[in-house]
Structure 1
Amino acid sequence: MTIMMDRTTTPTSWITRVEILHDDHAEDLLTPEALDFIAALHEKFACERDAILSERQRRRTEVDNGRDPRFDPETAWIREDPSWQVAPPAPGLEDRRVEITGPTDPKMAINALNSGANVWLADQEDATSPTWQNVIGGQRSLREGIRGTLTYTSPEGKHYAVTATETPTIVMRPRGWHLVEKHVRLWNREGDARLASGSLVDFALYAFHNSRALIAAGRGPYFYLPKLESAAEARLWDQVFTFTEDHLGLEHGTIRATVLIETIQAAFCMEEILYELRDHISGLNAGRWDYLFSIIKAFRTRGGRWVLPDRSNLTMTVPFMRAYTELLVATCHKRGAMAIGGMSAFIPSRRDPEITERALEAVAADKRREATDGFDGTWVAHPGLIETARAEFDEVLGWAPNQIGRQRPDVQVTQADLLNLDCPGEITDAGVRQNISVAIRYLDSWLRGTGAAALDNLMEDAATAEIARAQLWQWRTQERATAEGHRIDLPYLEEVLTEVAGQLPRGEGDRIDDAIDLVREVAFGETLPTFLTLPAYANYL
């Protein structure tokens, strides 16, 4: 079914109609006023979005041609000016020591709201497969959760409801600037249509329907911003926020953002990102898995020291990851912002106490390191890890809500430090097999509508799948061999893929064959697609 909404236009308007290609009984969310707000955002910002995506490609071409990312000398004045600070912590974001991440389907939303975490990262991005049902269903879960009316009954008859007397502060993560929403088309006066921005659709529906309810509850419309690669991209978000505050009649600075530093490009402009968003930003997050993927992707053709070993060797203590997190903490605290740590992928197991014990030990060590380094909070992917993470931050923070006042003048990170990819470890047959297995199984889950999947006692999302397929592509095109002596070429990869696929359980409704085709496209092809979700979304959902 299609919904068409004709707009009342002015002489300067260029969007005359909004078309929804699948309504999914979403009249409560896709109201004429909400659709008009989506159109207004695109009318104001779509061209600038196009421009920043073009600029992304230009910078990537420069790196492909041998120019390393660097601290921009033209913005040195921002980094060297000691006078500016970001806005103080917003209501509900003063203490962020434990944040639970996860998708926004009703069951997971209720579990997150009951979890006891300080913050819930309500993820409409990497942990959500962007089916229209998930996009709209997630918005509905958030709307009902904010109003205290969210319930869910499983197919087995189990009833879920929010029972916590104090729920986490919600920080919603919309899709990145590069993603579109193909169920929303915007028509101009000439009769031409363009697909809507996934970022602006996610942001618009959440802000439009929930801002006033959140403010009335003593919090506010807060967002995690993913995949930024430049200060210009942060500036665009800041403009979106200011426009939205004016449109909805909110006080300037009510909307707050936390930016994920999860690209190598963003690592070189952390202060500039904070500066552009200074009235609207609460902090930065060390998005470790996407950051690793970004590094592999950026230097995929360089060879030599730019080729990383098995993912299991890519810990937070290797030099380039250590430099990145130390710089993030020092930068945030210098400007009065919070530094939020990343997600350890380990998860507990109900069936195996030994797995649970190992997971708790690994998470405790990871969070102890973050708290000691100065982070103000951290992520976990499972409610069973919250108390372990909180204990490590309580040990360092005590009764203080954060440690913003802890400056790190000892941190002096250089370009060479961020690009020091010397890393112990080898490429192994097991590493190749694991990457292929994770990529297939995760994409099977994603294509079936689930964007966060527990695989081999690790929580995998789009970011970790990106690492798996990017490593396969780089190892093959850089003519690497495994420690066991196998040349990583197409015949070898096809042999391993066939072996792995043959061991996977099949069932009604599985998408394993589609997932295999996708792995061949995004990992075995001549070029490396910038994101695996682009062809997956365009051709398979």
Structure 2
Amino acid sequence: MYPTDQPITINGVTLQGPHLPRQEEILTPEALDFLAMLHRRFDSRRRELLQARGEVRRRIAEGWTPGFLPETRTIREDDSWRVAPLAPGLKDRRVEITGPVDRKMTINALNSGAKCWLADFEDSSTPSWENMLAGQVNLKDAIRRQIDFTTPEGKEYRLGGVQLVDRPTIIVRPRGWHLEEDHLLVDGQPMAGALVDFGLYFFHNAKELLRRGRGPYFYLPKTENHLEARLWNCIFVVAQDALGIPQGTVRATVLIETITAAFEMEEILYQLRNHAAGLNAGRWDYIFSIIKNFRDRGEDFVLPDRADVTMTAPMMRAYTEQLVRACHRRGASAIGGMAAFIPNRRDPEANEAALRKVREDKTREAADGFDGSWVAHPDLVPVAREVFDEVLGELPNQIRARRRDDVQPDAQALLAVSQTPGAITEAGVRMNIEVGIRYVESWLRGNGAAAIHNLMEDAATAEISRSQIWQWINAGSQAQLASGEGTRRVTRDWVETLMEEEFARIERQEGDRFDDAREVFAASALAEEFPDFLTLPAYRQFLSAEAPLRRELSGAAA
């Protein structure tokens, strides 16, 4: 169907980019028609909502402080409404494993023993066209039990013998609204990555999932308000009607990973109530969102070193407790976040420390009333499962047992940034630089989930690293190093010096992408104007359909 790498247009949909293995199975004329319908119905509204994000950010910079919306007060105060009953495969979510949709991870996740798998097209996946399309192939194969994988060294990976209903429930996380997929154009406009990821998965798998006792389930990332949730709900309704799927079959768990969404948790559930499954405490993007939105609001919003911003900080405790309350009040699941610590089988001491820290994290979440939580590695599934087994026993969740009526919505507590213990240190600045560059290098090589210093880094943690540096530089005297480290301010010149030193320490290998990674990281951390997302300019320069031409022109100009 697609014999060359030249752009081809079918019914107004232009496919551009290299021809990829098995793309004819995914990019069928019918699937492209479905994507085009979604784009034409909903992309203009997506763009309006992105513009509205910019307006909110401008108001915050001018001194406005977000809070609970007076216009939606009746929704919050109405005790009568609930979300739809929990769907098959989503009643017990005590352990969810997360990870990208490459073939090896797909098999390992489905063999992990977790209750659910977050199949991630977002922060743990580099959004290259190759990765995004291969992910759709892998999910299609996995659902039909037709997946295996052999490494170049000959190691084989295969699914275990259990049926779909006994394997982890697949919950797909599409890309955020801000990311576009310019390898697919509709009427000359690039599609939203979110619509591509959702649309292809839903089109090819919704009926097959229903036949096998599950459904098309999704995690919705980067949501900033209830109007964005309403857009997703409209998409679900139209998509189900288009394919003859019963209304309410789609279920969505929304990641509360922006500070503005934290004030609209019940409203978000309300907008999605016929399709809602729960909320998730997306802790790393949440921290990034606080820095991003309040980056120029003075010392009350300057955070200490990234390592000091733990889940026991007052603002993080308020966020998670209010999330559990909102979910359980409305009959939805509350899912905890991912501890960044990962096991290291080669280092027993580091491995034991990681297991201990993950256990502590999950114990706190279970005690707070969460119904389950995330892990990033199969070795951590038994740890989290044991913790939640002790609390849940035979119950599938804590929705009725731990309503958290003792928690009250508190806007000031959500914004208690200045109460976060810790300090800015030279070690913290250096760590942000090193980890940021190392992560971007991994991302450029196609790996969006990178183990660095026994921590799992993804795009969200890289965003924290670069945004902290940007904020500290631009905060001036409000970002002093900790006492005992002199009176040095975090300045651009000093950061550039540290960046030179940290870059020189990196061990290089032939074919690595560290020069490009340094360029990308420095451009986002040291820019005069704060880039909304680190991955946006990186995508345009290195991954988009036009990237090869841009690099060619850049090289010629140089």
TM-score of the aligned structures, taking structure 1 as reference length? 0.96
Matched with 2:534 is 532
Q: Does residue 271 of structure 2 align to residue 276 of structure 1?
A: yes
Instruction: From 19, 25, 28, give the equivalent of 1:28.
Output: 25
Per the alignment, residue 15 of structure 2 pairs with: 19
Give SS of 1:340's match: strand
What are the superposed Cα offsets for residues 105-163 of structure 1, whole Å, 9 maximum, x if unpaired?
00111110110000000000000001111000111111101110111111111111111
Residues 155-234 of structure 1 mapped to structure 2, 5 A cutoff: 155-165=152-162, 166-187=166-187, 193-234=188-229
| 2:471 aligned residue (471, 474, 478) | 474
> Once structures 1 and 2 are overlaid, which stretch shifts more, 258-267 or 401-410?
401-410
- Which among 427, 435, 440 is matched to residue 443 of structure 1? 440
Root mean square deviation, CA, Å: 0.9
What is aligned with 1:10?
Answer: none
Distance 1:170 1:509 in 2: 35
Give the letter aligned to residue 309 of structure 1. P
What code does the residue aligned with 1:177 have? Answer: W
Preserved CA contact (<8 Å) 2:13 2:32: no
Amino acid at match of 2:260: Q
Task: Tell me the amino acid that sits aligned with residue 222 of structure 1.
Answer: Y
> How far 1:2 moved relative to its partner?
3.3
Correspondence 1:132 to 2:136 = no
Alignment partners' CA distance in 2, 1:517 and 1:448 = 15
Q: Within 2, Cα distance between the matches of 1:410 and 1:17?
A: 53
Which deviations, in whole Å up to 9, do the C-alpha atoms of 1:482-531 show, x marking residues without a partner?
22133211221111111111111111221111111111110011111111
CA distance in 2, matches of 1:164, 1:386: 19
What residue identity is the alignment partner of 1:463? A
For 1:243, the equivalent position in structure 2 comes to 238
Please tell me whether the aligned partners of residues 264 and 291 of structure 1 are also in contact (alpha carbons under 8 angstroms).
yes
- Counterpart AA for 1:180: E
How many matched pairs? 528
DSSP-derived class of the 2:25 partner = coil
Q: Which string of whole-angstrom CA distances, capped at 9 and with x for unpartnered residues, describes residues 420-460 of structure 1?
A: 11111110010000000010000000011000000000000
The one-letter amino acid of 1:537's match is Y
SS in 1 for 2:436: helix
Query: For the residues of structure 1 that align with 2:338 and 2:359, how far apart are their CA atoms?
Result: 12
Which whole-Å CA distance do the structure 2 matches of 1:22 and 1:181 have between them?
14
Residue identity matched to 1:204: G
Equivalences for 1:465-504 in 2 at 5 Å?
465-479=462-476, 480-483=479-482, 484-485=485-486, 486-504=488-506
Counterpart CA distance in 2 for 1:304 and 1:104 is: 40
Residue aligning to 1:254:
249
Q: Distance in 2 between matches of 1:436 and 1:520?
A: 9
| Aligned AA (1:2) | Q
Q: Distance between the aligned counterparts of 2:238 and 2:201, measured in 1?
A: 15
- Aligned to 2:215, what secondary structure does the other structure show? coil
Aligned pairs for 1:361-380 within 5 A: 361-380=356-375
TM-score scaled to structure 2, two decimals? 0.94
The aligned counterpart of 2:548 is none
Letter in 2 for 1:236: L
SS in structure 1 of the partner of residue 113 of structure 2: coil
Work out the CA distance in 1 between the residues paired with 2:312 and 2:20: 46
Per-residue CA shift, 1:64-110, capped at 9, x if unaligned?
11101110000001001111100011011110000000001001111
Q: Which amino acid aligns with 1:200?
A: L
Deviations 1:219-258 (A, max 9, x none): 0000000000011100000000000100110000000100
Q: Distance in 2 between matches of 1:521 and 1:17?
A: 34
- How far, CA to CA, are the matches of 1:162 and 1:496 in structure 2? 46
Cα pair 1:3 1:22 within 8 Å, conserved: no
Alignment of 1:94-109 (within 5 A): 94-109=91-106
> Which residue of 2 is the match for residue 2 of structure 1?
6
Question: How far 1:3 moved relative to its partner?
Answer: 4.9
| Runs of 4+ residues deviating >4 angstroms | none
Secondary structure of 1:437's partner? helix
The alpha-carbon deviation at position 17 of structure 1 amounts to 3.6
Amino acid in structure 1 at the alignment position of 2:26: L
Cα distance in 2 between the residues matched to 1:371 and 1:2: 53
**Equivalent position SS for 1:27:** helix
CA contact (8 A) 1:18 1:39 kept: no
Say if 1:22 and 1:183, in contact at 8 Å, map to a contact too: no
Tell me how far apart the structure 2 counterparts of residues 268 and 522 of structure 1 sit (CA, whole Å): 28
C-alpha distance after superposition, 1:347-399 (max 9, x if no partner):
01010111111111111111011011100000000111111111111111101
Structure 2 Cα separation of the partners of residues 279 and 195 of structure 1: 30
Match of 1:84 among 71, 81, 85: 81
SS at 2:322's partner residue?
helix
8 Å CA contact 1:341–1:375 kept in 2: the answer is yes
Check 1:427–1:164 CA distance in 2 against 1; reply closer, same or farther (3 A cut): farther
Q: Is the 8 A contact 1:444 1:512 kept in 2?
A: yes
Asked if the contact 2:252–2:278 (Cα under 8 Å) also holds between the matched residues in 1, the reply is yes
Is the contact between residue 339 and residue 358 of structure 2 (CA under 8 Å) also seen in structure 1? yes
- In the alignment, the residues of structure 1 paired with residue 521 and residue 14 of structure 2 have an alpha-carbon distance, to the nearest angstrom, of 35
Give the drift of 1:409: 1.2
8 Å contact 2:13–2:184 — kept in the other structure? Answer: no
Inter-CA distance 164–298: structure 2 relative to 1 (3 Å threshold): farther
Where structure 2 has 5 or more consecutive residues not aligned to the other structure, the ranges are 544-558
Mapped contact 2:101–2:121 kept (Cα < 8 A)? yes
User: For residues 398 and 17 of structure 1, what CA distance do their matches in structure 2 show?
Assistant: 52
Contact persistence 2:338–2:373 (CA under 8 A): yes
Q: Give distance in 2, aligned partners of 1:317 and 1:481.
A: 23
Quote the residue 2:389 is aligned against: 394
The answer as to whether partners of 2:314 and 2:416 remain within 8 angstroms in 1 is: yes
Q: Which ranges in structure 1 are unaligned for 5 or more consecutive residues?
A: 8-15, 188-192
Q: Which amino acid aligns with 2:113?
A: G
State the identity as a percent. 57
Q: Helix, strand or coil: the match of 1:99?
A: strand
What is the distance in 2 between the residues matched to 1:540 and 1:498?
A: 23
Q: Is the 8 A contact 2:99 2:124 kept in 1?
A: yes
Residue equivalent to 2:553: none
Show the counterpart of 1:313: 308
Per-residue deviation, 1:164 = 4.6
Q: Secondary structure at the match of 1:28?
A: helix
Question: Could you say what secondary structure the match of 1:411 adopts?
Answer: coil
| Residue pair 1:113, 1:164 contacting (<8 A) in 2 also | no
